Structure 1
Amino acid sequence: MKRIAKVIGWTLLGLILLVVAAGGLFIYKVQNGFPVSYETEKPVITFPPNQPAILVFSKTTAFRHGESIEASLPVFSAMARQYGWFVYETEDGGVFNPEQLTHFKAVIFNNSTGPVLNEAQQQTLSQYVEAGGALLGIHGAGDGSHHWPWYEQHLLGTRFSHHPLSPQFQQADVHVETAVDSTLTRQLPASWGHTDEWYVFQGQPKDVQIVSYIDGTHIVPNGNILWVKDKNFGMGKYHPVAWCRSVGKGKTFYTSMGHAKDAWQDPAFVRLLENAINWTLH
């Protein structure tokens, strides 16, 4: 009997250690990603004449918002048909070369997470933006897994901290700022209800124009998990969820909304992104 109890005890201990190790591995992946390789071969792209080209880049090496990415692609295709854009969707970083990137009017990091570009590709993207290109980021594009100072400064203007865990998804009213370029607010309601995984950043984004925000006192921002005990704060009453800025001759736009596939069924969220792309094209 004692032997059976001993075996059960060791088995339970092993399972506990396995769960803890799995949890630690998951947190490491979310924070740092697991880069396997960087694609460097130029893809074959035929750019149609007289159509603004939009690059939708969905590569992930950290947490993958797979359902959201899949739900987004037909939405971007529908926008392209409506406005006459050429949308090129890829997860291949080889497109970030000086010759091809200049053909694109805007680049969208579509829930792209983790280190996804090598140093030369990062330099190509930063130079592209500063020379007059545009970079847009959706949700996971603003998490803490990218580890690229230029990107963090010029797309986010702040640093990711955490997201709520209990509950992870919460409903909040998204309010639209009026003192921004009307292209960004065109046909948007003054406010609308939206359910998402609300990212919490370490401070208000700097040197940006806020496009929309929520009342952070109306959500539960606690993100404590396992041994992480210092993620129980929010951003206060004024909690930005979309913002933009000029970078050199170019533009950037970021929204922390868009975690789940349901976001792409929200007409106001889709309109916000549609407006943001149009804003970068003018």
Structure 2
Amino acid sequence: MNTPNWIRTLRGGLLAFALLPTLAFGAPKKLLVVTVTTGFRHSSISTAEKVLTKLAEETHEFTVDFVQQPPNEPRPPQEPKLPKDPSAEDQQKFQSAQAAYATAQKEYTTKRAAWDAEVKSALSKLDAAGLKKYDGVIFANTTGDLPLPDNNAFMAWLKSGKAFIGMHSASDTFHGFRPYIEMIGSEFKTHGAQATVECLNQDPQHPACKHLASSWTVHDEIYIMQSFERPRVHGLLSLDKHPNQKTPGDYPIAWCRNYGKGHVFYTSLGHREDVWENPVYQKHILGGIRWALGLQKKKVTHAP
């Protein structure tokens, strides 16, 4: 039976509508999201993964693949302690506890080595061949020295024209690898109690900030940074007073910068689950993602 013309026309119209995001932006960009930690692990990571997936699905401008933490990370056994002025019975119990601890420690060492191998295998997506599939990476609350296949090759890949997007503890990652710290523009030093702060909008024209008024009040864990040189970044959000002590000063919150031919966006916000769930924060990071991927243009200048 022949299909009526009006049905063929309707089908064509629906297909064209479905393809509008692709037609407007070209093929969706591909992002690799890393949420592996070898240091402190934030409880908000699972929320971050859901939010980033939602943003990708809603905008159709990019897709996300994940490098996630392997399950069942082994925990070291508790070392026994001998009480002060121990009795003979205490001494005997301590010796038994020490023997049990030695056995548990041996088991932990074996399990830890196997788990570390799983982490390394998961991060193999960031080898030279794997990175060729992607337009950028997101480090969402990563911590510690991640066992990438090749740190220097990763930095060269970013410099070649790729996007790096970092949230919160992405600046608490690779403290011992200076090229990474120089790329991101600063590193975590410390933080006080979670606080309600007024973030000042330094660039209302930037995609990460254009939805904000002149300031944005948010409650989160606020990082105090080190190795930060304002001339080397393009500021987006900052505080003009210490988040806890309220003494005057310059406290950066979010910024972006060029890195070779690539683009870097970083926001120190994102410790709390409710921050990730906040539509204002989601627009903030979505704007940063779009800018870093070149989907929305905004020229930035800074010292090299």
Tell me if both proteins adopt one fold, taking TM over 0.5 as the criterion: yes
Higher Cα radius of gyration: 2
Post-superposition offset of 1:186 = 2.9
Residue 200 (structure 1) aligned with residue 224 (structure 2): yes
User: Does the Cα contact within 8 Å between 2:160 and 2:262 map onto a contact in 1?
Assistant: yes
Corresponding residue number in structure 2 for 1:274: 286
Counterpart check, 1:142 vs 2:119: no
* 1:125–1:210 CA distance, 2 compared to 1 (3 A): same
Gaps (5+ residues) in structure 1? 1-48, 222-233
How far off its partner does 1:68 sit?
Answer: 1.1
Any idea what SS the aligned residue of 2:252 has? strand
Asked if the contact 2:225–2:252 (Cα under 8 Å) also holds between the matched residues in 1, the reply is: no
Report the Cα offset of residue 267 of structure 1: 2.0
The alignment partner of 1:219 has SS state of: coil
Q: Is the 8 A contact 1:192 1:268 kept in 2?
A: no
SS in 2 for 1:104: coil
Output the CA distance in 2 between the equivalents of 1:264 and 1:218: 20
After superposition, residues 90-239 of structure 1 pair within 5 angstroms as 90-91=67-68, 92-118=122-148, 120-143=149-172, 146-156=175-185, 158-164=186-192, 168-178=193-203, 182-202=206-226, 204-206=228-230, 207-217=232-242, 219-220=244-245, 236-239=248-251
| Identity across matched positions, percent | 27
| Contact 2:168–2:270 under 8 Å retained in 1 | yes
Instruction: Please name the residue that 2:115 is paired with.
Output: none
Over the aligned positions, Cα root-mean-square deviation in angstroms equals 2.1
Whether 1:250 and 2:280 are equivalent positions in the alignment is no
Of 104-113 and 263-272, the range deviating more from structure 2? 263-272
Cα-to-partner distance string for 1:198-255 (whole Å, 9 max, x where unaligned): 111235434000100123245238xxxxxxxxxxxx8x43211001100110011111
1:92-138 Cα shifts (integer Å, max 9, x gaps): 211111122122122011100001134x4312220111100011111
Distance 1:134 1:144 in 2: 17
One-letter amino acid of the structure 2 residue matched with residue 64 of structure 1: R
Determine the C-alpha separation between the residues in 2 that align with 1:111 and 1:64. 8
* Structure 2 portions without partners, runs of 5+: 1-25, 69-121, 295-304
Q: Does residue 1:70 correspond to 2:57, yes or no?
A: no
> Does the CA-based 8 Å contact 1:113-1:146 persist in structure 2?
no
Equivalent-residue separation in structure 2 for 1:246 and 1:103 (angstroms): 21
Letter in 1 for 2:32: L
